[in-house]
Structure 1
Amino acid sequence: MPPSPLLNEALVLPAPAKLNRLLHITGRRADGYHDLQTLFQFLDIGDTLTLCSREDGAIRLAPRLPGVETEDNLVVRAARLLQVASGCRLGADIHLDKHLPLGGGLGGGSSDAATTLLGLDTLWGLGLSQARLAELGLSLGADVPVFVHGHAAWAEGVGERLTPVELDTPWFVVIHPGVTVSTPAVFGAAQLTRHTPPITMARALQGGAGSWTNDCEPTVRALYPKVAHVLDWLAIRAPAMLTGTGACVFGRLGSETQADRLLAEVPEGWQAFKARGLNRSPLHAALGR
């Protein structure tokens, strides 16, 4: 029997950022999607969602994100999808405290959706399995399942076939250059590398962080000179890489002190923060999963 719904309680939950520590594109499918191999890792920073049940079935989200229609927000879409899939007649008031930049390659929207699915499953007393929630999440976006499962992972397919891994957990300095990168533009670019030979997970892990690359990086550099400039600036100071299709880039540091020193050097006008790599999602720690 599923647990009882928490009708008079509010859940305040994190929606952590992610980094792609490695990203290879190994092929293009007939449907236009790309086959990937990637290493996902969480950060100890992200958005925050506050969820409260409603008895009238309505889904209310505040505040509205600039440039995003409320019904198109992945938080609202995730809540409505969960209602339909479970037959639940409850609704929710959801407040999204947005910290992660839109379109930064940090998985903010996907993480918000996963937190909504897991949080409302708890709040509404549904008792759905993590596997079922991940299945629902995949229909919202390829990155949602890793946030639902909540462990650093080696991912294949479009990013949905996940194997938990234990990665090193360095400090990172993450910089957003102030541009919006279009994922369709990157994946549609003629010069994008699409046939990197597949490797095994064991080989990727054995090679270590010093050998990890992002196949999207040369294309993003060519299309977005500001991203290239930040990558070049950062690479002089730390091992630097693009996450996802960008726009955020990250430098890997050996200690928080080194991260603080690098952060102090970041020029004005660039949005930057430090974060620690995590192999377990803080969302799952908060929910006791």
Structure 2
Amino acid sequence: MPPAPDPAAGWSAWPAPAKLNLFLRITGRRPDGYHDLQTVFRLLDWGDTVHLRPRRDRLIVRHGPPVAGMEGADDLTVRAAKMLQSEQNVAQGADIFVEKRIPVGGGFGGGSSDAATALVVLDRLWGTGLGADRLAALGLRLGADVPVFVHGANAWAEGVGERLNALALAPAWYLLVDTGVAVPTAALFQAPELTRHAVAATMADFVSGAPLGNAFEPVLRCREPAVEAAFAALARVGTPRLTGTGGGCFVEFATRGSAEAALAALPPGLAARVVAGAARSPLLDALEKAGIGDW
């Protein structure tokens, strides 16, 4: 990765946090072919950094090396900027540089979070002033995970993930494992063994600690040896879970010390780290610090 852009050259840097799905159920199929989901989104105090610089022309330029799986039409950050620019007929453009830390396709929400950060910050830098609800509606056209990053709060989510209710979550630390498995979500939804009509859960079920599970876990553990191996390793230190529809796995801990002790007990060779859960998106904190936090 080349050095990050120099703020002295007009660049600003903004967090794009990762997320976890603390559970994920499919409760049915909609007439439009999409699936009805239930999940809890947990934002993390770790993620990518999106660097932005307004341009006087209307060009949207992505700088830095290409990221596998995010080139061209698949670059959600560029698509987000172009969508906002087109919808609001903005005369300015933007330079974009993303410091990638979140693995692509792991279920940690990296591409969606990068896109949301671009939407939220360019809304300020370009003076479009759409606010969270309208930006979230735009973001939904890019992906079902984008709205939660736009709003920046941990949330209970339903629908395709766009119906959000903010949820206060206790402090927690997470031991994450990147299995290196990048999962094509559309293909995974077509898996014949996928459970598509689970009984709907309630917030009371979640709060009580009921094991709600992830509908994609048995599919991926069967299909991907690396995911099964990660689950076996994590099972020695806690209760492993899958996040989203990706190959990423995690275990939750009440304290940082217990999470770090579990990390030290893992066998070598796993791409693992300890991160803290966030009470809200670090992006909101950064906007407030910059004095542009109000919608």
Q: Same fold (TM over 0.5)?
A: yes
Tell me which moved more, 32-41 or 257-266: 257-266
Gap runs ≥5 in structure 2: 1-8
Secondary structure of the equivalent of 1:278?
coil
> Match of 1:16, as an amino acid?
P
Tell me which moved more, 123-132 or 258-267: 258-267
Q: 1:72 is matched with which residue?
A: 74
1:79: Cα distance to partner?
0.3
Q: 1:119 is matched with which residue?
A: 121
Partners in 1 of 2:52 and 2:164 — Cα distance? 28
Alignment of 1:155-166 (within 5 A): 155-166=157-168
Q: 1:36–1:158: 8 Å Cα contact kept in structure 2? A: yes
Q: 1:4 is matched with which residue?
A: none
Spell out structure 1 runs of 4+ moving beyond 6 A.
Answer: none
1:260: Cα distance to partner?
1.5
Alignment of 1:30-179 (within 5 A): 30-63=31-64, 64-179=66-181
Secondary structure of the equivalent of 2:21?
strand
> Match of 1:264, as an amino acid?
A
> Match of 2:37, as an amino acid?
L
1:263: Cα distance to partner?
1.7
Partners in 1 of 2:194 and 2:112 — Cα distance? 24
Secondary structure of the equivalent of 2:277?
strand
Deviations 1:44-70 (A, max 9, x none): 100001101000111111222134323
Partners in 2 of 1:222 and 1:150 — Cα distance? 34
Q: 1:16–1:108: 8 Å Cα contact kept in structure 2? A: yes
Partners in 2 of 1:221 and 1:185 — Cα distance? 15
Gap runs ≥5 in structure 1: 1-7
Q: 1:11–1:123: 8 Å Cα contact kept in structure 2? A: no
Alignment of 1:122-271 (within 5 A): 122-201=124-203, 203-208=204-209, 211-271=211-271
Partners in 2 of 1:66 and 1:25 — Cα distance? 29
Q: 2:222–2:228: 8 Å Cα contact kept in structure 1? A: yes
Partners in 1 of 2:186 and 2:127 — Cα distance? 38
Partners in 1 of 2:197 and 2:187 — Cα distance? 18
The CA RMSD measured in Å over matched residues stands at: 1.5
Tell me which moved more, 101-110 or 259-268: 259-268
Tell me which moved more, 114-123 or 221-230: 221-230
Secondary structure of the equivalent of 1:80?
helix
Q: 2:237–2:265: 8 Å Cα contact kept in structure 1? A: no
Deviations 1:232-276 (A, max 9, x none): 220221121000012000011121112222222333332111111
Partners in 2 of 1:232 and 1:207 — Cα distance? 26
Partners in 1 of 2:54 and 2:207 — Cα distance? 46
1:182: Cα distance to partner?
2.3
Partners in 2 of 1:10 and 1:177 — Cα distance? 33
Secondary structure of the equivalent of 1:204?
helix
> Match of 1:171, as an amino acid?
W
> Match of 2:226, as an amino acid?
K
> Match of 1:214, as an amino acid?
N
Deviations 1:1-46 (A, max 9, x none): xxxxxxx843210000000001111011233211000000101100
